[in-house]
Amino acid sequence: MKYIDDRGFVWVDGIGGWDIQMLIGQNMVVWGRSGPVNGVIARKAIHLLSPEDRKKVPEMKDLWIDLGVKDREQALQLVAVGDPVTFELGFRPLQNNLAAAPGMDNKVGAWVVLEALRQVAAEAPQAAVFAVSTVQEEIGLRGAQTSAFAIDPQLGIAVDVTHATDCPTLDLKQYGEVDLGDGPVLPRGPNANPEVHARLVSLAQQAEIPVQMAALPRAASNDANALQLTRGGVATGIVAIPNRYMHSPVEVVSLNDLENAARLIARFCLSLTPECDFTPR
Ligand SMILES: [Zn+2]
């Protein structure tokens, strides 16, 4: 949140990447020092938009948050410049064990790694296993850099969402084929250690966990990138959760994919022995 005008309307800038058209008409929450403050983000009503305005894609500066306050003074009793703003949080089950919520990217990652850790803790792992919920991934993989440096792992698996391409208007020739509910995605490419990838694939086959393949020809735009480049290099794997409508208030995932990702990562951790060598051959 960056500016409050005399009438108490609030202007914001995006943290990470946002499609402005997904914002208009949403319930928002400003996370003020003394607690959450409800607001709505909107622009003027369609009746009042000129024919040219109706055709234009608005910019962030064309939208404001209305807290219902009467002036700037009242707003400043509740919120301050720099307070973060989110969509109103919530969770809606859909058919076929799908679910919609804002911020599935990347709350699902936190759930998957903690569930994997829970499963590993119930067995007798030979490797030291750490689960990390990193912060500030969207603005430069910042939490991954510090946590990977501190833990100094030999191997790391980054869990993030990836685009499901099983909804209208997506060209599979351009984006590949990823379906919700068909299992976590195991991308191959320069950011994924080939031995780690091969082990994930074979463990998935053994345990009959469905997985999907994807090609990632460049550095991953997620924590895998920071992880791989930590210190002298870390053998890095990527387990990705298919997600429709990423960075919107209605991100959709399959809960089955989350369960399967956690099971696969737990099995991976339990398969590690001191003899394991992930030097690519
Ligand atoms: Zn994201």
Contact predicate 238/222, CB 8 Å: yes
What gap in Å lies between CA 240 and CA 180, rounded to an integer? 11
Report CA 247 to chain centroid distance, whole Å: 8
Amino acid at site 130: F
Domain boundaries, the chain: 3-87, 92-271
For residues 173 and 188, give the distance between their C-alpha atoms in angstroms, rounded to a whole number: 17
Q: How confident is the model at residue 18 (pLDDT cuts 50, 70, 90)?
A: confident
Two tokens, residue 37: 């403050």
What CATH architecture applies to the domain 92-271?
Answer: 3-Layer(aba) Sandwich (3.40)
pLDDT tens figures, 194-231: 999 999 999 999 999 999 999 999 999 999 999 999 99
DSSP 234: -
CATH class of 3-87: mainly beta
Q: How far apart are CA 59 and CA 47, in angstroms?
A: 19
- The closest alpha carbon to 116, from 278, 275, 272, 274, belongs to 272
* Average pLDDT value for residue range 37-49: 92
User: What's the average model confidence in pLDDT over 29-48?
Assistant: 94
Fold agreement (3-87, 92-271): no
Is the N-terminal amide bond of 256 cis, ω within 30° of 0?
no
Tell how far the Cα of 104 is from the centroid of ligand 1, in angstroms: 9
For residue 136 the two structure tokens come to 């500030």
177 given a catalytic annotation? no
Q: Inform me whether the pLDDT recorded for 91 exceeds 90.
A: yes
Distance 246 CA to ligand 1 centre (A): 7
**pLDDT tens figures, 150-194:** 999 999 999 999 999 999 999 999 999 999 999 999 999 999 999
Using the mean position of ligand 1's atoms as its centre, give its distance from the Cα of residue 76 in Å: 30
How many H-runs (helices) and E-runs (strands) does the chain carry?
9, 13
Q: Given this model, what pLDDT does residue 182 score?
A: 98
Q: Say how many Å lie between the CA of residue 155 and the centre of ligand 1.
A: 23
Q: Examine the pLDDT at 280 and tell me if it is beyond 90.
A: no
Q: How far is the CA of 138 from the centre of ligand 1 (A)?
A: 6
Residue 17 has pLDDT above 90, yes or no: no
Instruction: Out of 88, 123, 137, 259, pick the active-site residue.
Output: 137
The pTM score is: 0.94
What is the distance in A from the centroid of ligand 1 to the CA of 139? 9
Cα–Cα–Cα angle for 211, 157, 165, rounded to 5 degrees: 40
- DSSP letter assigned to residue 61: G
| 12-19: average pLDDT | 89
**Separation CA 88–CA 79 (nearest Å):** 16
